[in-house]
Amino acid sequence: MPDRYDVLVVGAGPAGLAAARTAAAHGARVGLLDAQPRPGGQVWRHDVRRKAPRAARDAIGKLQGVDVLASHSVVAIESSALRVETPQGGQLVAYGSLILATGARELLLPFPGWTLPGVTGAGGLQALTKQGWPVAGKRVVIAGSGPLLLAAADTLRKHGAHVLGIYEQAPAASVHAFAGQLRHWPARAAQAIGLRLRLAAVPYHFGSFVRRAHGSDTVQRVDIDTPTGTQTVECDLLGVGYGLVPNTELAQLLGCTMDYPGPHPHVGVDRLLRTSVGSVYAAGEAGGIGGLAVARLEGVMAGHVATGHSMAAHALLPQRDRERRFGTLLARHFALHPRLHTLADKDTLVCRCEDVTLGELEGFSDARAAKLATRCGMGACQGRICGTALAELGRFPRSGARPPIFPARLATLAGLTTLPSDDAYRGS
Amino acid sequence: MSAPVKLNVNGLPVEVPAGASVAAAVAQLTLQFRRSVSAEQRAPLCGMGVCFECRVQVNGVTHVRACMTPVSEGMQVITDA
């Protein structure tokens, strides 16, 4: 039997949690769905060994009147409804208004050795660690760009890892200029100082990036370019991520207009977070990388607007605009150096699902043509990793989203409400 | 903290904290999660359900993302399936 919500929120991170809570407080019937098994999103991901921050506990704990639909992956859209897949089977969830709080993922760039087990994203390694990934006593290199590297290193150390160093691609002058601007955002400054103090024993290198990872079965050492030459560092784990890109696949499937401030799209919204599609709103990172404070404010705003309380949303605009400026500052000071576009050589796998090298993609200027000829982007991740990387590298933009936006079982697509296991198909 | 969860990875017993992911349980034993189309060994990359590098077989169901699946008592996990 299809469920119908007045307001359906996709993504249970800070933006989605705030949106759901706000809409419910206005008396709406609210559903909050997320592909992950627990609410919190990436920044408030549950840590098996540590207590959640107070803001996360508050946001997750105060969801009265909200149906939390965990482990629900959206795979397709229907008329004012989403086709979702759960471990139990497929389902149709209908809505009056839809709030997209789909967050962001890490920008992962190909380099020789990046497919070795033990090489992960930086935020990726943090996420894995929070869920019990064994890191105690392991030698870890954290690299890439942005403040997330510090947060990842902090989590790793709290779980007993030996973090050998943090390698930031942005030059020292740029990072110091960023730190100087933090005084305009006192809460963020306090957070940054706390992180730096906790990481005082971890060297923080600037203008440095991982050029190559070596190892047989798993990563064993990495070559790092620094302003003073190449260093080789022996390690057990390498976490490398180049910042964040918005998750826009569902918005694209819905036909929402995208904005392209650079190579990666974000959902286009007006001052009240309305997308180009009626009754569809976008809050937080989906509408452009802005960070936690933006996500929480825009979540509240979207919850107001989706229930017809635009004035309350308007009142939050000055605060929201101020926090959005922080995102602009981040993007400027941690802009990726063009030399990162040349890390992959012709033998480096770019598409990890179909094992397509950069060399095989020579001569293609369009994602679809490349896919038809090489299978690049045709695998399970549907180009989320390689398509985003190729867009960043200036090869060609990622092609638009088509259903299903995540791999789904045929039973889900056929609209069945119960899902037989694979054993049933094998007749065992 | 609640009692640890006992499960089985490739026929071997593994114990992890309650709330841990299948990915964390597999990593206690091996970093070989799946085999790529050209037979390379792969392990989790993104940690958040996007890259599909962590796919394993869980209780007979193939292509389950280990990073997004919480462990449960007695679970049977097979890598490189």
Report pLDDT digits (tens) over A144-201. Answer: 999 999 999 999 999 999 999 999 999 999 999 999 999 898 888 898 999 999 999 9
Nearest chain A residue to B31, by CA: A117
Task: Give the Cα separation of A8 and A40 in Å (integer).
Answer: 17
When pLDDT is averaged across residues A82-99 and rounded to a whole number, the result is 94
**Among partner residues A42, A125, A352, which is closest to B53 by beta-carbon distance?**
A352
Nearest chain B residue to A116, by CA: B42
pLDDT band at A421 (very low <50, low <70, confident <90, very high): low
Residue contact A121–B47, C-beta within 8 A: yes
When pLDDT is averaged across residues A353-374 and rounded to a whole number, the result is 96
Contacts of A299 by beta carbon, 8 Å cutoff, 6+ apart: A14, A15, A16, A17, A18, A19, A20, A22, A99, A101, A283, A284
Nearest chain A residue to B55, by CA: A380
Nearest chain B residue to A120, by CA: B45
At which residue do the structure tokens 């499937």 appear?
A253
Taking one residue from A and the other from B, the number of pairs with CB-CB distance under 8 angstroms is: 125
Give the closest residue to A164 by CA, choosing from A233, A239, A242. Answer: A233
A159: number of CA atoms within 13 Å, CB side?
26
Question: Min CA distance, B61 vs chain A (Å)?
Answer: 5
Task: Give the Cα separation of A390 and A398 in Å (integer).
Answer: 8
> pLDDT tens digit string along A102-154?
999 999 999 999 999 999 999 999 999 999 999 999 999 999 999 999 999 99
Alpha helices by DSSP H, listed for A159-291, are: 172-181, 186-198, 249-254
pLDDT band at A427 (very low <50, low <70, confident <90, very high): very low
Chain B positions in Cβ-Cβ contact with residue A117 (cut-off 8 Å)? 31-33, 41-43
- The residues on A that touch B, with CB distances below 8 Å, are 35-37, 42, 46, 48-49, 71, 105-106, 108, 115, 117-121, 123-128, 131-134, 217-218, 352-355, 379-381, 384-385, 407, 421-423
Question: Min CA distance, A132 vs chain B (Å)?
Answer: 5
Q: For A14-18, A167-171, A183-187, A421-425, which range has the lowest pLDDT when averaged over its residues?
A: A421-425
pLDDT band at A414 (very low <50, low <70, confident <90, very high): confident
Run of H or E including A32: strand A30-33
Give the closest residue to A142 by CA, choosing from A233, A52, A216. Answer: A233
pLDDT band at A2 (very low <50, low <70, confident <90, very high): low
A128: number of CA atoms within 13 Å, CB side?
36
Chain B positions in Cβ-Cβ contact with residue A105 (cut-off 8 Å)? 46, 48, 50
Local structure of B54: helix, strand or coil: coil
Residue B2's pLDDT is 75
Question: Min CA distance, B54 vs chain A (Å)?
Answer: 10
pLDDT band at B81 (very low <50, low <70, confident <90, very high): low
pLDDT score of A420 more than 50: no
Domains and CATH numbers, chain B: 5-78 (3.10.20.30)
Run of H or E including A54: helix A54-61
Q: Which residues pair with A210 in a beta bridge?
A: A224
Residue A399's pLDDT is 81
Residue A126's pLDDT is 98
> pLDDT tens digit string along A288-338?
999 999 999 999 999 999 999 999 999 999 999 999 999 999 999 999 999
**Among partner residues B38, B51, B70, which is closest to A385 by beta-carbon distance?**
B51
Report strand pairing: A237-241 vs A139-144.
parallel
Sign of CA pseudo-dihedral A79, A407, A368, A267: positive
> pLDDT tens digit string along A32-70?
999 999 999 999 999 999 999 999 999 999 898 999 999
Contacts of A71 by beta carbon, 8 Å cutoff, 6+ apart: A34, A35, A36, A37, A86, A87, B68
Residue A426's pLDDT is 47
Chain A positions in Cβ-Cβ contact with residue B49 (cut-off 8 Å)? 35-36
pLDDT score of B26 more than 60: yes
- Contact of A84 with A93, CB cutoff 8 Å: yes
> pLDDT tens digit string along A272-293?
999 999 999 999 999 999 999 9
Model confidence, pTM? 0.95
- CATH 3.40.1180.10 applies to domain A3-105+245-331: no
Residue contact B41–A217, C-beta within 8 A: yes
Question: Min CA distance, B16 vs chain A (Å)?
Answer: 7
Residue contact A407–B19, C-beta within 8 A: no
Percent share of chain A, pLDDT over 90: 87
Residue contact A352–B36, C-beta within 8 A: yes
CATH superfamily of A110-241: FAD/NAD(P)-binding domain (3.50.50.60)
Inter-CA distances, A323 with A63, A106, A354, Å:
25, 21, 40
Task: Give the Cα separation of A32 and A75 in Å (integer).
Answer: 16
When pLDDT is averaged across residues A346-353 and rounded to a whole number, the result is 98
User: Where along chain A do the CATH 3.50.50.60 domains lie?
Assistant: 3-105+245-331, 110-241
Averaged pLDDT score across all residues of chain A? 94
Chain B positions in Cβ-Cβ contact with residue A125 (cut-off 8 Å)? 47
Q: How long is chain A?
A: 428
Task: Give the Cα separation of A51 and A397 in Å (integer).
Answer: 41
Task: Give the Cα separation of B25 and B74 in Å (integer).
Answer: 12
Give the closest residue to A171 by CA, choosing from A205, A122, A121, A222. Answer: A205
- Contact of A21 with A63, CB cutoff 8 Å: yes
